[in-house]
């Protein structure tokens, strides 16, 4: 390789995140991006891209692959100076995701659309939208107007905050916006726990609970509960054309204290030989998955659903409990399709630098380098569908902090999910990251600067004590 070719190769590599499987110089000449020829090859899972003195040629398997080729092309183009390169590329994983929690704090259409734009550049293709939980219900359901009249009031840091939610027209607009960028949206309607916003609006659906967890669960044995769930999910399924609906299924035990003393619940457990409240929780999950399947969708749930006895072909499991590797092993052994979302390193609400004071820690934190070094060989298997970064927003109340906690770690997750392990290199990533940060500057996106942490100070956040006082 001549020195000039090596320089061109380096220049090309500086710009592209996630890194292509193969990128090499094709000519010492520089060209402008003028004419583009696109060809389709059936059965091709990725794309090839050739930039030559005579023009640009894209060979892709379908419209989605062509879209990704154009994202690579846009990153290679440095103010009209396009190096002559040959690129061969295909995704490592089918599911390359980002989850945004808007129950704790609501951000609105403009923020979501900008996130979708950056996701598209990073070749991420699954937007998991956490729309319901304890603080607020954020999606309009026509049959149950109190969900947004009452359930959408408040947020994590202020229970009396004005109601905030997406109308069904808003949802359709955002779904179409995402589809144009080849991003599938997975809505999450959390159940049977994390249901407080819904039971606040419709108290007859409450499964009890004590202390701060009053109303945390849906009532697990009333048929009224399951009619409500089917009605809600029917409207949700009509709004989201993608193949998935997420039903949560996590941390149910926080709100099952009164299940143990409620006569109706205890009679149901005995009559159906469910053994205990955990068995009832699993019964609920099976029924909820059945409703999702009846609507023509695949259910997605957090990793607690592995023990519910749902047939593996009917659901996707999200492994989130990083401290329970046996849960991942168990899910894979039982034949479940799994998305890797472990708190470490995939939760972006965790602290990302040791100097930062706000955010979660779990015997450490999720720094950029650790996020990039994922998944471990022990976490890979044929039934692993992909990866997902999750942003929970208890301590994130505005866009400034949302951006800071998301970037640049989302770029690392994107390369984890897209790039063949043999083509990953941390030093190269950190070099290319400088160009990505400059693009974020142009978009007005605030971020943590790993090269100069003092340049981008940690934004403030609602204090936990304040949140409880306001609640």
Give CA angle at 388 (459, 168), nearest 5°. 80
Kindly state the average pLDDT of the residues 255-261.
Answer: 95
CA distances from 261 to 133, 234, 265 (A): 25, 33, 8
- Read off the pLDDT of residues 45-57 as tens digits, 9 standing for 90 and up: 999 999 998 899 9
Any idea which residues carry the catalytic annotation? Answer: 133, 194, 251
Q: What is the pLDDT of residue 467?
A: 43
pLDDT of residue 32: 67
What domains appear along the chain, each with residue ranges and CATH number?
3-89 (3.30.379.10), 95-470 (3.20.20.80)
8: which strand partners?
A: none
Per the prediction, the chain carries an average pLDDT of: 94
pLDDT at 80 over 80: no
Burial 278-299 (b: 16+ CB within 10 A, else e): bbbbbbbbbbbbebbbeeebbb
Q: Give me the pLDDT at residue 468, please.
A: 37
pLDDT at 345 over 80: yes
**pTM exceeds 0.85:** yes
* 350 pLDDT higher than 90: yes
């Amino acid at each position: 390789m001549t020195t000039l070719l090596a320089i061109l190769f380096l220049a090309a590599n500086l710009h592209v995140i996630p890194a292509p499987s193969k990128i090499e110089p094709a000519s010492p000449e520089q060209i402008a991006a003028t004419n583009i020829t696109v060809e389709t090859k059936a059965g091709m899972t990725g794309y090839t891209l050739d930039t030559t003195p005579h023009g640009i040629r894209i060979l892709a398997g379908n419209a989605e692959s062509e879209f990704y080729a154009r994202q690579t092309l846009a990153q290679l183009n440095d103010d009209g100076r396009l190096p002559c390169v040959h690129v061969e590329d295909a995704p490592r994983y089918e599911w390359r995701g980002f989850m945004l929690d808007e129950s704790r704090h609501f951000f609105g259409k403009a923020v979501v659309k900008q996130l979708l734009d950056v996701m598209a550049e990073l070749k991420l293709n699954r937007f998991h939208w956490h729309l319901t939980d304890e603080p607020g219900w954020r999606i309009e359901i026509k049959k149950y107007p109190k969900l947004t009249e009452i359930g959408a009031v408040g947020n994590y840091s202020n229970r009396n905050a004005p109601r905030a939610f997406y109308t069904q027209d808003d949802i359709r607009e955002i779904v179409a916006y995402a589809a144009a960028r080849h991003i599938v949206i997975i809505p999450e309607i959390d159940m049977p726990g994390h249901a407080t916003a819904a039971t606040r609006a419709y108290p007859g659906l409450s499964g009890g609970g004590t202390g701060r967890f009053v109303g945390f669960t849906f009532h697990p044995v009333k048929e009224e509960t399951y009619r409500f769930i089917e009605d809600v999910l029917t409207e949700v399924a009509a709004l989201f054309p993608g193949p998935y609906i997420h039903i949560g299924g996590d941390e149910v035990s926080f709100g099952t204290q009164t299940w143990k003393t409620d006569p109706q619940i205890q009679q149901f457990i005995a009559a159906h030989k469910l053994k205990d409240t955990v068995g009832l929780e699993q019964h609920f999950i099976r029924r909820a998955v059945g409703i999702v399947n009846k609507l023509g969708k695949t259910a997605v749930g957090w990793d607690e659903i592995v023990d519910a006895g749902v047939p593996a072909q009917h659901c996707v499991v999200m492994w989130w409990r990083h401290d329970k590797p046996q849960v991942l092993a168990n899910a894979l052994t039982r034949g479940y399709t799994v998305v890797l979302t472990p708190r470490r390193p995939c939760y972006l609400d965790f602290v990302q630098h040791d100097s930062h004071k706000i955010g979660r820690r779990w015997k450490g934190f999720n720094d950029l380098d650790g996020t990039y070094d994922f998944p471990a060989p022990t976490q890979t298997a044929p039934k692993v569908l992909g990866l997902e970064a999750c942003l929970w927003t208890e301590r994130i109340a505005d866009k400034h902090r949302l951006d800071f906690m998301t970037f640049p770690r989302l770029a690392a997750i994107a390369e984890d999910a897209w790039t063949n392990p043999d083509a990953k290199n941390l030093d190269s990533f950190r070099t290319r990251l400088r160009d990505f940060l400059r693009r974020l500057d142009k978009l007005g996106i605030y971020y943590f600067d790993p090269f100069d942490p003092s340049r981008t100070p940690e934004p403030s956040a609602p204090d936990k004590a304040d949140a409880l006082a306001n609640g």
